[in-house]
Structure 1
Amino acid sequence: MTAVPPWDAFTATEAEVRAMVADPRWQGLPTPDRAYVLAARTLVTPDGDRWLFGTHARWHLLDPADGRWILACPPQGTRARRVGHPAAALTDAVVPDGYDFHAEPGSTQAFIGPDVPESLTEELRVLLRAGGRKSELDYPLTAFGEIFGSDVPSTVAAVWGAIMWCAYAPAFDGNERLITVFGEYLRRSLPGDDWVRWLPGPPLADLVTLVSERMRAGRRREALRLAATMADTAQILLRDSRFRPRALALLTMIEPMLRASHMTDPDDDAALRRLWLERCPPRLCRALLVENDPEAQFAHTVYDLVEALAFMPDPRAAAASFLADLSDSGGTLPARLDHRLRRAYEELRRAGLTGTSAAERTHPDGFPVRAGGVSTALKVAPPDRTSAAAVLGAAYATGLAWQRLTGAKVPERGLASQSALVARLVHERDDHTGLY
């Protein structure tokens, strides 16, 4: 007789809420009514923590100190029971409108480990070569000048910008062909080393600038070509889940410009960016948090990080070891974490193991260390290549989100804990040439 798995309150409640929100009648309900039925499905664990499955189809944890609901992964294998909670205590921010449940989460994996499909890379290579044959006089480089030489046409930058903007976490194997095909156009070596290229996530404004500058110059045909190049790039990227959510958003923003018989989009940078963002429907809202809500984007990447570390005995403690790398001179990070994760982070802070990436040192064998000893991330041992890529992707995305939110720089050679994890995985690279 097949054993029946024990009933899990978190799984059951999530399924129930998803079914309610999927009902066409949900969006027609007044917000107080939606809050009422959601509050009735609040869970409480034996330690007294209260959990709610709410907006963006994610769990929220009630902070006992100030009553805020904070995005937080639920504990694994923990018993919970359903309790009532005052509906009036739920803010609109945690009550789903329905559209937010339609978002495709995509993949949190970086491009360290699982390769970009060869067919996808080849199509982008062909697109890049066509762009590289354009004249820099017709397509001057008005963005990404820190990446490419001044004689490189902006059609090349349009492909690069679309790839990097669409990537959840643009950290690539040093030998990843998707990056090496840009080699002849680069102004200098990319950030990182032979193992990993830790690349910046460009703002949408950089892509907009390439197009709007040509429009202001009266070169509307060239402006359309740049927009079409970005759209073609995004169309190819849809086949990889690490790009798909933002690639779909980018296509949605650009395609109306390409379909119009007469270009009516504004040529002002800020106005064009605003119009592009407004074209995205609510179901793509999470893909655009990186542009519209840096605070929420950081919260979601922290959620992704804890989720990616689910194989660890204590995912929160492991996540805290990665968060400890972030530079937090203002001391604002702990208040942005749920109280469980905050406790784990504070333990590292009291031990002097936080905010140390700026002062990291390196052993002769290349393993990053901290003043208090070897990075705690060396204790993180993903069970397989896919899990490792998910951890690295989520951790790097968290670093980029923190940079966008606070201005704290991400080191060119990566944050210490991520680099330590890479050192454990380097033997799994496809190309070992020059590593030993």
Structure 2
Amino acid sequence: MAAVHPWDPFSAVEADVRALVANPRWPGLPAHLRAEALAATTVVTPDGGRWIFGAHARWYLHDPRDGRWHLAAPPRGQDLRTGRHGAPILPPHLLPVGADFIGPAGSTQAFIGPDVHPDLTEEVRVLLRRMGRKSELDYPLAAFQDVFAGDVPGTVAAVWGTIMWCAYAPAFDGNERLLTIFGEYLRRPLPGDEWVRWLTRPRLDALVALYAERARAAEDRAALRLVALMADTAQILADDARFAPRAHALRAMLEPLLHQPELDRASVREGDEPVRRAWLARVPEDLHRWLLPDTDPGAAFRHTVYDLVESLDFTSDAVRAAASFLTDLPGGGPRLQTWLDHRVRLAYAELIAHVAEYGEHTEPDGFAVPAFLWTGATGGWPSRATSPATARGVIVAPPDRESAAAVLGAAYAAGLTWCRLTGAEVPEDGFAGARAIVRRLVHERDDHPPVNH
């Protein structure tokens, strides 16, 4: 969640658009009337940027170069003008449908700093302990074989898979008990170090495989037990905003199956992919944005970049700061630029050029980070600048632990989504910018404040 400013003109426009969309007549209006009403709320920033608050309750920026509208977090706190200003032609995908404005906000925080509440962890532990006694012969490990030992039952994988699939950004404190309760079942140590476990979010296919394998084997009772276990785990996780939106989406997929055990029988006979499509089709529209990593990785990446810019609004230049984190991503360059709005694209191109010219800077303790990324995580680097690239950077010094966790989560989620989109490998030691933010968090006491970023 973006920081709250004393007076934010963008928020005033958001309130106006929300009132429009909340009108019961809105969904039934012809598309051209909805487009006209939305165009009348266009805002213009001093640099000439034209902004629309549209689908998914998010802002879109008009790109003067190609005429397209890109997801883009707005520069809050600026003076702006409202009005049609040339009556922009709005494509259908910008128009809110109604349900997309009522979905949960979630949280971009990683699981480092703000801890998972012990009551939630205990509920999962009790569930896991009970399910861990099942036989691997009755519940074979149809997925997550790279995570768990061969004699671990699929019930354990179902709990693990649900946790990881529901997490916005599965970067965990190395001592986080929600992970350590799985220790006896693991095939090998989790990726990362003593401070952070850099984990990946599984595809929905992995959860489908656990269910579909038992259903195809005519073990209907076992198949439904796995579905119930995933639903129960998701229900527990929904109490933490970092899990909540996708936990609600997963429950929407699974609960109809628990009430109608025959519901996916025909899909099971056709294969895992028809089952996956059937599960996704049951998710209500207000939760569709949270399914994008599984349905449209390109759109999901754009949303995570939006989250990253919002999480950095305490900096002097959130766009440039966000671009600095994006330079960590493997196989970027021109390919990555095509997914960015023109502000982030320009900042990213400039930073890439500086990195190519000046290379990387190394912190005094040997921690390599991009030369322009001065996190201030441990009080800042020494005052000497090692290159013009450093001087052109943006200080990213989160004011508190919650803000640091939000930046870390958004940066890591952007990296994971980019790797899903491109097929690149996720580094086992995380991405450099995210690692630098960890330094702001690891020496602070863990406690359990509200998770609301």
TM-score normalized with structure 2 length: 0.89
1:338 matched to 2:341: yes
SS at match of 2:335: coil
Q: Which stretch of the first structure deviates more once superposed, 259-268 or 139-148?
A: 259-268
Deviation by residue 1:202-261 (Cα, 9 ceiling, x = unmatched) = 000000000000111111111111111100100101110110000000001001111125
Contact 1:109 1:392 in 2 (8 A): yes
Give the match's secondary structure for 1:392. Answer: helix
Question: Which residue matches 1:426?
Answer: 442
1:306 to 306, 309, 316: 309
Note if 1:247 corresponds to 2:250.
no
Contact kept? 1:42, 1:85, Cα under 8 Å: yes
Are 1:417 and 2:433 counterparts? yes
Q: Structure 2 unaligned runs (5+)?
A: 377-394, 448-453
Alignment match, 2:152: 152
* Equivalent runs, 1:13-412 vs 2, <5 Å: 13-85=13-85, 89-260=89-260, 262=262, 264-265=264-265, 266-267=267-268, 268-329=271-332, 331-352=334-355, 365=365, 367-370=367-370, 373=371, 375-378=373-376, 379-412=395-428
SS state at 1:110 partner? coil
Which stretch shows the higher mean deviation, 405-414 or 27-36? 405-414
Cα drift, residue 337 of structure 1: 1.1
Q: Which amino acid aligns with 2:283?
A: C
Deviation at 1:262, TM superposition (A): 4.3
The one-character-per-residue Cα deviations of 1:122-172 (angstroms, maximum 9, x if unpaired) are 000011011110000111101001100011000000000000000000000
Aligned to 1:12: 12
Indicate the SS of the match to 2:210. helix
CA contact (8 A) 2:404 2:440 kept: no
- CA change 1:126–1:346 in 2 (3 A) is same
In structure 1, C-alpha distance between the alignment counterparts of 2:56 and 2:416, rounded to whole Å: 21
For 1:92 and 1:60, locate their aligned partners in 2 and report how far apart those are by CA, in whole Å.
13
Tell me by how many angstroms 1:408 deviates: 1.8
**Structure 1 residue matching 2:17: 3-state secondary structure:** helix
Give the drift of 1:282.
Answer: 0.9
Counterpart in the other structure of 1:434 = none
Find the aligned partners of 2:441 and 2:356 in 1 and give their Cα distance: 23
CA contact (8 A) 1:253 1:277 kept: yes
Q: Could you say if the C-alpha distance between residues 33 and 157 of structure 1 is closer, same or farther in structure 2, counting changes exceeding 3 Å?
A: same
- Quick check: 1:9–1:81 contact (8 Å CA) kept in 2? no
Q: Structure 1 vs Structure 2: percent identity of aligned residues?
A: 62
SS in 2 for 1:426: coil
Q: Give the letter for the 1:381 counterpart.
A: A
- Residue identity in the other structure for 1:338: D
Q: Which deviations, in whole Å up to 9, do the C-alpha atoms of 1:169-198 show, x marking residues without a partner?
A: 000000000000000000000011110001
Give, in angstroms, the shift of residue 427 of structure 1.
Answer: 1.1
Distance in 2, Cα, partners of 1:347 & 1:261: 56
2:383 — aligned with what?
A: none
* Structure 1 length-normalised TM: 0.92
SS in 2 for 1:52: strand
Specify the code of the residue in structure 2 equivalent to 1:322: F
Cα distance 1:137–1:29, how it changes in 2: closer, same or farther (>3 A)? same
Deviation for aligned residue 1:289: 1.2
Measure, in 2, the Cα distance between the counterparts of 1:258 and 1:86: 53
Length, aligned pairs only: 421
Question: C-alpha separation between the residues in 1 aligned to 2:424 and 2:333?
Answer: 10
Q: Distance in 1 between the 2:164 and 2:41 partners?
A: 40
The answer to which structure, 1 or 2, has the higher relative contact order (CA under 8 A, 6+ apart) is 2
Measure, in 1, the Cα distance between the counterparts of 2:166 and 2:69. 29
SS in 2 for 1:333: helix
Task: Please say if residues 321 and 377 of structure 1, whose CA atoms lie closer than 8 Å, have aligned partners that are also in contact.
Answer: no
Change (3 A) 1:136 1:20: same
List runs of 5+ in structure 1 lacking aligned partners. Answer: 432-436
- 8 Å Cα contact 1:321-1:376 kept in structure 2: no
Partner SS state of residue 299, structure 2: helix
Give the AA of the match of 1:48: G
For the Cα contact (< 8 Å) 1:324–1:353, is it kept in 2? no
SS of equivalent residue, structure 2 residue 70: strand
Question: CA contact under 8 A between 1:61 and 1:72: conserved in structure 2?
Answer: yes
The answer to whether the Cα contact below 8 Å between 2:59 and 2:71 also exists between their aligned partners in 1 is yes
Partners in 1 of 2:44 and 2:363 — Cα distance? 46
The alignment partner of 2:439 has SS state of: helix
Letter in 2 for 1:35: A
Deviation at 1:77, TM superposition (A): 2.2
Q: Is the 8 Å Cα contact of residues 301 and 398 (structure 1) preserved in structure 2?
A: yes
SS in 2 for 1:210: helix
Deviation at 1:15, TM superposition (A): 0.6
In the alignment, residue 424 of structure 2 is paired with which amino acid?
A: A
Distance 2:32 2:161 in 1: 42
Cα 1:318/1:329, change in 2 over 3 Å: closer
Distance 1:260-1:80 versus aligned 2 partners, 3 A rule: same
Using a 3 Å threshold, how does the CA distance of structure 1 residues 115 and 207 change in structure 2: closer, same or farther? same
Task: Give, in whole Å, the separation in 1 of the partners of 2:364 and 2:417.
Answer: 31
What is the rounded CA distance, in whole Å, between the counterparts of 2:92 and 2:132 in structure 1? Answer: 49
The Cα RMSD (Å) is: 2.1
Report the CA distance between 1:327 and its aligned residue. Answer: 1.5
